[in-house]
């Protein structure tokens, strides 16, 4: 989805998501719907704006509150990337589909 469409979607649905990365060691995320997968190197989150994959080393979920839609992740953060929820739900060959074949 182009960035212009995503901005329009966020404005029409009143979705606000904040991502705050402090010194590549502490990551605070709001707008989290669910934690789909996690280990010490990868965390996959379902957010209001799509799937968010966080990669690094020694990653741990320090705070998880689905009531307030907040997650805090500690560790050495190397990468964050969004992907579309629709591709995963329709069997688009995503990470979780490969695991559960």
99, part of any domain: no
DSSP 35-60: EEEE-SSEEEEEETTEEEEEEEEEEE
Structure tokens given for 51: 């799937």
Q: What pLDDT score does 16 carry?
A: 86
Mean pLDDT of the chain: 82
Which pLDDT belongs to residue 89? 47
pLDDT at 87: 47
**pTM score of the predicted model:** 0.71
Q: What is the CATH number of the domain that holds 50?
A: 2.60.40.2000
Please check whether residue 47 is in contact with residue 35, taking contact to mean a CB–CB distance below 8 angstroms.
no
Please report, rounded to a whole number, the percentage of residues in the chain having pLDDT higher than 90.
62
Write out the residue range of the structural domain in which residue 37 sits.
3-85
Contact status, residue 82 vs residue 70, Cβ threshold 8 Å: no
First to last CA, the chain: 27
Digit-coded pLDDT (tens) for 44-82 = 999 999 999 999 999 999 999 988 999 999 999 999 999
């Amino acid at each position: 989805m182009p960035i212009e469409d995503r901005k329009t979607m966020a404005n029409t649905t009143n979705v606000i998501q904040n991502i705050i990365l402090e010194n590549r060691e502490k990551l605070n995320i709001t707008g989290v719907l669910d934690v789909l997968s996690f280990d010490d190197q990868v965390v996959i989150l379902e957010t209001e704006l799509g799937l968010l994959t966080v990669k690094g080393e020694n990653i741990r979920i320090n705070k998880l509150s689905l009531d307030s839609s907040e997650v805090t992740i500690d560790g050495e953060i190397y990468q964050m990337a969004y992907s579309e929820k629709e591709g995963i739900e329709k069997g688009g060959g995503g990470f979780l589909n490969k695991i559960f074949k």
